[in-house]
Amino acid sequence: MYRPNNRSGVTNAVPPKHFLAAKRRRQLHPFFYSMGPVALSVCSVLLVGLMAILYLTQLGQAVTANQTLQNTYTQQSLLQRENQDLTNTIAQEESPSYIAEHAKSLGLVPVDTKTVRIVVVKGLKPIVKNEPHIQP
């Protein structure tokens, strides 16, 4: 179904698109059918083997990632327990009863308010906690 290019009867060499698609199919067709059953079986076995290797590789990576995640969770729980223990120790050591017992063990005694002397120094500025200390 070629159309004449001009009135002289010369045909155009460009075939329609459906002819090109059929021609391409015919070019691929012999390749698939020229393989014998042995070659086709070998190719199938190779493809299945390649897919199995890829699957096992992915499975190995997933197992490794899972083990790493489990180790991280274990480490996190250990650190949380240690943090709780340290928080309890700090709270215990900041309690007034612990401080009083520790002071007694060091030989310190409570102050008698009747024997306390207050010394007033003239010209001494009081210390303010929020001001930065500037050396003159």
The full 3-state SS of 17-30, as one line of letters, equals: HHHHHHHHHHHHHH
* Helix, strand, coil percentages for the chain (3-state, nearest 5): 60, 0, 35
Nearest alpha-carbon partner for 18 in 7, 9, 26, 29: 26
Which pLDDT tens digits describe the chain residue by residue (136 residues)? 455 555 555 555 556 667 777 666 666 655 556 677 888 899 999 999 999 999 999 999 999 999 999 999 999 999 999 999 999 999 999 999 999 999 999 999 888 888 888 888 888 887 777 655 555 5
Query: In 94-129, which ranges are continuous DSSP H helix?
Result: 96-105
**In angstroms, rounded to a whole number, what is the distance separating the alpha carbons of residues 39 and 99?**
88
**Phi and psi based region of residue 47 (left: phi greater than 0; alpha: psi -120 to 50; beta: remaining):** alpha
Residues sharing a CB contact under 8 Å with residue 127, sequence separation 6 or more, in sequence order:
none
Question: Residue 14 is encoded by which pair of tokens?
Answer: 């460009």
